[in-house]
């Protein structure tokens, strides 16, 4: 699996315009049938690799003792990560792999779990909080949107989105 993921990463990183199972298989040193058996098509594989690149299993969220600081730190980490050229390529590959509207997105599911943890901790401390969906829609989604469409994400962008969403706190 690692060789296949690495092959996809190399191809995306090189800006390959034609990524196919045979090309990936050759690069990974596996038979193309291995890929055909596991993934419905190359776009499904591209999305899986992009998700793996854009999230980290077991990634912990900040616990600074303040909702604003937790959200700002978390959003800055995400912004710093997805604006790295290799992550940007993965994100754009994942977006381009989407042909239809989907019911869920593994990247956003992970971000939902992380936001829920931050909100839970803040509520336990008695802080007023926006909803998890508000955080996703007004902090995280704009970050991914800006990167997907090659719009600038400057140093103040993520903290500004956090300040905006905190005004929604009940």
Report residue 113 as tokens: 């779990």
> Does pLDDT of 92 surpass 70?
yes
Question: SS3 sequence, 46-65?
Answer: HHHHHHHHHCCCCCCCCCCC
What pLDDT does residue 124 have? 97
Q: CA 141 → CA 24, 124, 161, distances in Å?
A: 30, 26, 10
Instruction: Give me the domains of the chain, ranges plus CATH numbers.
Output: 2-38 (1.10.10), 58-166 (1.10.357.10)
What's the number of CA atoms in the CB half-sphere (13 Å) around residue 101? 0
Q: Give the confidence band of 67 by pLDDT, cuts at 50, 70, 90.
A: very high
pTM for the predicted model, two decimal places: 0.79
Instruction: Please compute the mean of the pLDDT values over residues 63-81 and round it to a whole number.
Output: 96
What pLDDT sits at residue 157? Answer: 97
């Amino acid at each position: 699996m690692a060789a296949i993921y690495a092959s996809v990463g190399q191809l995306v990183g090189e800006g390959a315009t034609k990524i196919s199972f045979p090309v990936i298989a050759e690069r990974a040193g596996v038979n193309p049938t291995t890929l055909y058996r596991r993934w419905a098509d190359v776009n499904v594989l591209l999305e899986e690799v992009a998700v793996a690149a854009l999230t980290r299993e077991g990634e912990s969220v900040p616990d600074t003792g303040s909702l604003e600081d937790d959200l700002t730190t978390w959003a800055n980490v995400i912004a710093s990560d997805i604006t790295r050229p290799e992550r940007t390529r993965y994100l754009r590959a994942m977006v381009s792999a989407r042909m239809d509207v989907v019911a869920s997105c593994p990247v956003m599911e992970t971000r939902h779990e992380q936001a829920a943890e931050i909100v839970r901790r803040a509520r336990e401390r008695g802080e007023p909080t926006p909803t998890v969906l508000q955080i996703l829609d007004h902090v995280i989604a704009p970050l991914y949107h800006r990167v997907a469409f090659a719009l600038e994400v400057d140093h103040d962008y993520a903290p500004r989105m956090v300040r905006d969403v905190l005004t929604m706190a009940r």
